[in-house]
Amino acid sequence: MLVVQKFGGTSVANIERIRAVAERVVKTAREGHKVVVVVSAMAGETDKLIDLAHQLSRNPSEREMDLLLSSGERVTSALTAIAIEELGHKAMAFTGRQMGIITDTVHTKARIEKITADRAKRVLDEGYIVVVAGFQGITEGKNDVTTLGRGGSDLSAVAIASALDADLCEIYTDVDGVYTTDPNIVPGARKLEKISYEEMLELASLGAKVLQTRSVEFAMKYEVPVVVRSSFNDNPGTLVTKEDEDMEKVVVSGVAYDKNQAKITVLGVPDRPGIAAKLFKDIASAGVVVDMIVQNVGSDGRATDISFTVPKTESRKASKLTEEIAKELGAKGVTLKEDIAKISIVGVGMRTHSGVAAQMFETLAAHGINIMMISTSEVKVSCIIDSKYTELAVRVLHDGFELAAAGRK
Residues that bind Mg ion (CB under 5 A): 8, 151
Q: Is residue 169 within the footprint of ligand ADP (CB under 6 A)? A: no
Q: Residue 345, Cα to own-chain centre: how many angstroms?
A: 17
Contact code string over 176-195 relative to ligand ADP, x by CB under 6 A = --xx-xxxx-----------
CB of 173 to Mg ion, least distance (A): 7
CB of 194 to ligand ADP, least distance (A): 14
Give the nearer residue to ligand ASP in terms of CB position, either 13 or 91. Answer: 13
Packing angle, helices 213-222 and 197-205, rounded to 10: 160
- Using CB under 6 A, which of the segments 12-20, 145-153, 215-223, 345-353 binds ligand ASP? 145-153
Q: Is residue 400 within the footprint of ligand ASP (CB under 6 A)? A: no
Among 209, 312, 317, 408, binds ligand ADP (CB under 6 A): 209
Q: Phi, psi (5° rounding) for residue 285? A: -70, -15
**Whole-angstrom Cα distance, residue 80 to residue 408?**
37
CA quadruple 94, 96, 102, 106: dihedral, nearest 10: -170
Q: Is residue 254 within the footprint of ligand ASP (CB under 6 A)? A: no
User: Which residues make Cβ contacts (< 8 Å) with residue 392, sequence separation at least 6?
Assistant: 367, 369
Give the nearer residue to ligand ASP in terms of CB position, either 128 or 135. Answer: 135
Q: Is residue 152 within the footprint of ligand ASP (CB under 6 A)? A: yes
State the chain's maximal CA–CA distance in angstroms: 78
Which CA distances in Å does 68 have to 40, 312, 314? 14, 22, 21
Contact code string over 33-62 relative to ligand ADP, x by CB under 6 A = -------x----------------------
> E strands along 216-302, which residues?
226-230, 238-241, 254-258, 261-270, 293-297
Nearest to 73 by CA among 36, 48, 41: 41
- Using CB under 6 A, which of the segments 147-155, 250-258, 336-344, 345-353 binds ligand ASP? 147-155
The binder of 213, among ligand ASP, ligand ADP, Mg ion, none, by C-beta within 5 to 8 A per type, is none
- Using CB under 6 A, which of the segments 102-110, 144-152, 170-178, 390-398 binds ligand ASP? 144-152
Q: How many CB atoms lie within 10 A of CB 124?
A: 18
CB of 8 to ligand ASP, least distance (A): 6
Residue 401 near residue 192, CB atoms below 8 Å:
no
Residue, CB closest to ligand ADP: 8
- Using CB under 6 A, which of the segments 106-114, 150-158, 203-211, 373-381 binds ligand ASP? 150-158
Give the nearer residue to ligand ASP in terms of CB position, either 136 or 322. Answer: 136
Residue, CB closest to Mg ion: 151
Among 134, 151, 152, 400, binds ligand ADP (CB under 6 A): 151
**Whole-angstrom Cα distance, residue 153 to residue 99?**
14
Residues from 46 through 105 that contact ligand ASP (CB under 6 A): 46, 72
Q: Is residue 319 within the footprint of ligand ADP (CB under 6 A)? A: no
By CB atoms closer than 10 A (0-12, 13-18, 19+), residue 234 is: exposed
Packing angle, helices 62-86 and 15-30, rounded to 10: 60
The strand order across the sheet containing 226-230 reads 91-94, 129-133, 34-39, 2-7, 168-173, 226-230, 238-241, 194-196
The binder of 208, among Mg ion, ligand ADP, ligand ASP, none, by C-beta within 5 to 8 A per type, is ligand ADP
Q: Phi, psi (5° rounding) for residue 131? A: -115, 120
Rg (CA), the chain: 23
Residue 66 near residue 108, CB atoms below 8 Å:
yes
Residues in the chain, how many? 409
CB of 154 to ligand ASP, least distance (A): 6
In this structure, what DSSP letter does residue 78 have? H
Residues from 111 through 140 that contact ligand ASP (CB under 6 A): 134-135
Binding site for ligand ASP (CB under 6 A): 8-9, 40-41, 46, 72, 134-135, 150-154
Q: Where do contacts with ligand ADP occur on this chain (CB under 6 A)?
A: 8-11, 40, 151, 173-175, 178-179, 181-184, 203, 208-210, 254
